[in-house]
Structure 1
Amino acid sequence: MKMTGAQMIAKALEKEGVEYVFGIPGGAVIPLFDALYDAPFKVVLTRHEQAACHAADGYARTSGKVGVCVATSGPGATNIMTGLANAHMDSVPLVVITGQVATGAIGTDAFQEADIYGCSLPLVKHSFLVRSIKELPSALKAAFIIASTRRPGPVLVDVPVDVQRAIGTFEYPEGVTFPGYDPTMPEETEGLKDAVAMLEKSERPVILAGGGCNNSSASKWLIELAKKADCPVATTLMGKGSFPETDPLALGMAGMHGTPQANMALTESDLILAIGTRFSDRTTGDRRAFAPKAKVIHIDIDAAELGKNIKAHLPIRCHAELALKTLFESMGDKKSEARKKWLSQIEDAKRKFPPEPTSNQGVDPREAIRVLRRLMGQEEHLVTEVGQHQMWAALHWKALMPRTFITSGGLGTMGFGIPAAIGVAFAHEGKPVTCLSGDGSFFMNMQELETCARYNLPVHIVVLNNCSLGMVRQWQELFWNERYASTCVPQACSIAEVAKTMGFKSWVVKENNDLESTLKEALEHHGPTLVECMVPTQEKVFPMVPPGGKIGNFLYPENK
């Protein structure tokens, strides 16, 4: 079938089952957007290319499918870079298509030319620069295969405008062969027998579940294994939701702002079964002092992560779902007295460090999040921006199901939350999505309120406004002699009023007594809403491990 390169892209997206494409048109992608005009899937216009990438990212995280976004050449493509890096750090499958100047103009500093292929290389799983229409079908097929297989990640396809206009025969391949990359590489399960023996022998085991466990299949077997083995489960920030946090075996999140019981358990454990996590510094604290009494079984789909940050006594390259299912089926049912004693120690830690009580000065941020949890169904999605509110949510919003807590972990991208919530809203069309934000993050991509309003999305934004860049302000208070450099600046406008002018129904809450009724009204509204909660500037996130410290030594309201 003869068609233009642009039509080939649209046809390839259709064949891949793409539901939504997020993006903004520009000179170097006019042919592509013209082809997308007739596509059977929906093209979502955002107001910034970074937001388009974050929206595709949010869609991918919650759906498990490949997210797709499009940007023009030059500044359009460079605006995508933060979104690429964000998805790469959190292993999110994206295909990002950028326009490029004509092939004959590449390297001449043509108008809106940027070497996005070269710029993107450290930030993606793979990049393609398509120099002829003959290369285009296989490059597109390869992009979807690479993005979605083994450890997922973003793939860039840079397509010059003359390739989009060129006419050729479209033959979309069923598969593509890659030198050095096997999408179906067999997993190494031999070590799982040893893992079972170590787990059965252990007296103080802990499962550390990362983002690799955060899908329905892996989560199912994680729950089964934990209950069969009587083993407590801590999660990383990216693993939150993989194990129901109301379960007695749940320890909550571990790390810099982890729960006392999670950090204590990892510090005192004799065996850590780590699955689908890369042991980031925010999880481990001082790596030299991490889990000093424990042997480590590290299971991950990416062999490059095994032993990279924490030495593994038993490294196993395997997908989380297969590993957890195999471990469950191979484990015996015998419960040891030592294991019961271990669980009793953990319960003691929970009692010793209860959640902080509600403050009655302004709006208590922890109470706002607890009220949200009560009002939201267990399948409803909470998307966060980045900052103090994100860590309060990680501590106080109990995630009950996989892929329902959506946040930027590895890159910590302020401005991620609102566009990501747009992606989640499209993935679950008609169902409400709640976005928790701080005032600092809100102003990063606030133009996307117009996108929410234009599509009448049921995106409900709750802004914890402490009139500061709260996380940096907290560090300045605790570690920089209260020198609040550029963090406590009065705002020139009301966030609620800004939202109202952009098509949102909005409220301002100034005290705890008004939280429940206002949030309930906002969440029940069928269109976009925003609730601005006025939080005292001095509020801090605890527990907190000081930078570079041991996770067992944390600041808490009683010992800060």
Structure 2
Amino acid sequence: MSRTVRLTMAQALTRWMSVQGVEVDGTVVSYFAGVWAIFGHGNVAGMGEALAGMEDSLPTFRAHNEQGMAHAAIAFAKQSRRRRAMACTTSIGPGATNMVTAAALAHVNRLPVLFLPGDVYASRRPDPVLQQIEDFADATVSANDSFRPVSRYFDRITRPEQILDALPRAMAVMTDPATCGPATLALCQDVQAEAFDYPESFFEPRVWRTRRPRPDRQELADLIDALKTAKAPLIVAGGGVLYSEAETVLADLAARTGVPVAETQAGKGALVWDNPLALGSIGVAGTSAANAAAEASDLIVAVGTRLQDFTTGSRTLFTGKHLFQINVALNDVGKHDARPVLGDAREVLTELSYALGDWVLSV
């Protein structure tokens, strides 16, 4: 029989968070750098008590504005190249909905944050509670339903044992390069303080590693053929280059082949500014050099970008161009009728560079 430990749901949640690790530069560190918190009706008795006992392994950062603390968590995730993240816990009602704008930002920019808003009582015995949104036609609705369209993963915890499934699923979404984004676990306030006999194995340390899928051989071969026959190819580097840590490989590929590189807003810094092949930003907020190169190009190789309207000039800049899209996300790889090369940016560029050999763009 497996051994168990009796904890409240909130205690189990914070203990589990504290033992999730990631490998950064060869060293295993905690995935969650801490929890931003504003305590009030809906999270002070459960999450507040649990976090108070975790200060050494899961620090709590007190904030004065829910949206502000969520944006701070997003900035941390971006600066960490999505390898680490933070969590945010709030009271119910307006305390929770103040984070929705930040959740939308994280969702749009594919950045991981764990939102832990307090929710109404699962038992409904004190119903309605302070700040509860009452839907006259649907008793299951709460303010936290506003997180659904701006979360990559959403769950409402109405029983303490549900976190045994919900937490690993949320973590899998947040650490996967193709699905990365915010996860929301709405925590019913009575359930936060309910005890359950959790298996001790649930709290064993785990290291999550970045998945790096390699490209399909035929998709890569098609890209190689297109490059070798192109007269004016252009690489457009997006944020995926940075998150994949592919800057060095990209710089080497550009230097050896002579193919110039433009950047999206999220991809700024993919190539150092003084590189002779760096054309700067592209699109609506781009440089004249990058946009002129795009206009003159016959082949666009997009790497790790979602090809939004600022990048493409609302679909006008790449019109009539032969377009390839290197991306780890299936949702992005076929946008704008692009020829897909599904895979991790660093892996694809590495294999592309090797396959091209001594090929150099003719000027």
- TM-score higher than 0.5 here? yes
**Given the superposition, is the C-alpha separation of residues 34 and 174 from structure 1 closer, same or farther in structure 2, using an over 3 Å criterion?**
closer
Name the amino acid aligned to 1:88.
H
Secondary structure of the corresponding residue to residue 9 of structure 1: helix
User: Take 2:353 and 2:126, find their aligned partners in 1: how far apart are those partners?
Assistant: 56
Q: How many angstroms does 1:110 deviate by?
A: 2.9
**Given the superposition, is the C-alpha separation of residues 12 and 193 from structure 1 closer, same or farther in structure 2, using an over 3 Å criterion?**
same
Are 1:3 and 2:14 counterparts? no
| 1:106-505 correspondence runs (5 A) | 108-114=127-133, 115-151=142-178, 152-171=180-199, 172=202, 188-190=215-217, 191-215=219-243, 217-287=245-315, 289-308=316-335, 310-312=336-338, 314-338=339-363
User: Take 1:107 and 1:185, find their aligned partners in 2: how far apart are those partners?
Assistant: 49
User: Take 2:235 and 2:348, find their aligned partners in 1: how far apart are those partners?
Assistant: 13
**Residue 71 of structure 1 corresponds to which residue in structure 2?**
90
Q: How many angstroms does 1:42 deviate by?
A: 1.7
User: Take 1:125 and 1:281, find their aligned partners in 2: how far apart are those partners?
Assistant: 22
User: Take 1:74 and 1:106, find their aligned partners in 2: how far apart are those partners?
Assistant: 18
User: Take 1:47 and 1:123, find their aligned partners in 2: how far apart are those partners?
Assistant: 23
Aligned length: 329
Q: How many angstroms does 1:130 deviate by?
A: 0.9
Structure 2 gap segments, 5+ residues each: 21-29, 134-141
8 Å Cα contact 1:272/1:294 also seen in 2: yes
Q: How many angstroms does 1:294 deviate by?
A: 2.3
Name the amino acid aligned to 1:38.
G
Secondary structure of the corresponding residue to residue 135 of structure 1: helix
**Given the superposition, is the C-alpha separation of residues 106 and 331 from structure 1 closer, same or farther in structure 2, using an over 3 Å criterion?**
farther
Are 1:36 and 2:62 counterparts? no
8 Å Cα contact 2:212/2:343 also seen in 1: no
8 Å Cα contact 2:238/2:302 also seen in 1: yes
**Residue 59 of structure 1 corresponds to which residue in structure 2?**
76
**Residue 371 of structure 1 corresponds to which residue in structure 2?**
none
Name the amino acid aligned to 1:280.
Q
Are 1:15 and 2:15 counterparts? no
Secondary structure of the corresponding residue to residue 279 of structure 1: coil
User: Take 2:281 and 2:67, find their aligned partners in 1: how far apart are those partners?
Assistant: 29
Q: How many angstroms does 1:209 deviate by?
A: 0.7
Compute the RMSD of aligned alpha carbons.
Answer: 2.3
CA deviation string 1:533-556 (max 9, x = no partner): xxxxxxxxxxxxxxxxxxxxxxxx
Name the amino acid aligned to 1:150.
P
8 Å Cα contact 1:207/1:231 also seen in 2: yes
Are 1:91 and 2:110 counterparts? yes
Secondary structure of the corresponding residue to residue 255 of structure 1: coil
**Given the superposition, is the C-alpha separation of residues 280 and 106 from structure 1 closer, same or farther in structure 2, using an over 3 Å criterion?**
farther
**Given the superposition, is the C-alpha separation of residues 103 and 185 from structure 1 closer, same or farther in structure 2, using an over 3 Å criterion?**
farther
Give % identity. 29
Secondary structure of the corresponding residue to residue 123 of structure 2: helix
CA deviation string 1:433-476 (max 9, x = no partner): xxxxxxxxxxxxxxxxxxxxxxxxxxxxxxxxxxxxxxxxxxxx
**Residue 136 of structure 2 corresponds to which residue in structure 1?**
none
User: Take 1:106 and 1:149, find their aligned partners in 2: how far apart are those partners?
Assistant: 39
8 Å Cα contact 1:73/1:100 also seen in 2: yes
CA deviation string 1:55-78 (max 9, x = no partner): 111111111312221112111110
**Given the superposition, is the C-alpha separation of residues 173 and 20 from structure 1 closer, same or farther in structure 2, using an over 3 Å criterion?**
closer
CA deviation string 1:135-159 (max 9, x = no partner): 1232122211111113210000111
8 Å Cα contact 1:141/1:173 also seen in 2: no
CA deviation string 1:218-254 (max 9, x = no partner): 2221112111221111010001112111111101011
Secondary structure of the corresponding residue to residue 42 of structure 2: helix
User: Take 1:167 and 1:161, find their aligned partners in 2: how far apart are those partners?
Assistant: 13
User: Take 1:185 and 1:227, find their aligned partners in 2: how far apart are those partners?
Assistant: 24
8 Å Cα contact 2:244/2:346 also seen in 1: no
User: Take 1:58 and 1:107, find their aligned partners in 2: how far apart are those partners?
Assistant: 38
8 Å Cα contact 1:6/1:35 also seen in 2: yes
**Residue 393 of structure 1 corresponds to which residue in structure 2?**
none
Are 1:46 and 2:63 counterparts? yes
CA deviation string 1:171-229 (max 9, x = no partner): 32789xxxxxxx96955422112212211222211100111111362222111211122
Q: How many angstroms does 1:266 deviate by?
A: 0.9
8 Å Cα contact 1:236/1:277 also seen in 2: yes
TM-score computed with the length of structure 1 as normaliser: 0.56
CA deviation string 1:511-550 (max 9, x = no partner): xxxxxxxxxxxxxxxxxxxxxxxxxxxxxxxxxxxxxxxx
8 Å Cα contact 2:213/2:344 also seen in 1: no
User: Take 2:127 and 2:52, find their aligned partners in 1: how far apart are those partners?
Assistant: 31
8 Å Cα contact 2:6/2:198 also seen in 1: yes
**Given the superposition, is the C-alpha separation of residues 108 and 185 from structure 1 closer, same or farther in structure 2, using an over 3 Å criterion?**
farther
User: Take 1:21 and 1:173, find their aligned partners in 2: how far apart are those partners?
Assistant: 18
Are 1:101 and 2:128 counterparts? no
Name the amino acid aligned to 1:22.
W
Q: How many angstroms does 1:13 deviate by?
A: 1.4
**Given the superposition, is the C-alpha separation of residues 324 and 107 from structure 1 closer, same or farther in structure 2, using an over 3 Å criterion?**
farther
Secondary structure of the corresponding residue to residue 12 of structure 1: helix
Q: Which runs of 4+ in 1 moved over 6 A?
A: none
User: Take 1:203 and 1:290, find their aligned partners in 2: how far apart are those partners?
Assistant: 18
Question: Which of 35, 39, 52 in structure 2 is aligned with 1:25?
Answer: 39
Structure richer in strand, relative to its length: 2
User: Take 2:300 and 2:37, find their aligned partners in 1: how far apart are those partners?
Assistant: 43
User: Take 1:126 and 1:78, find their aligned partners in 2: how far apart are those partners?
Assistant: 17
User: Take 2:127 and 2:221, find their aligned partners in 1: how far apart are those partners?
Assistant: 59
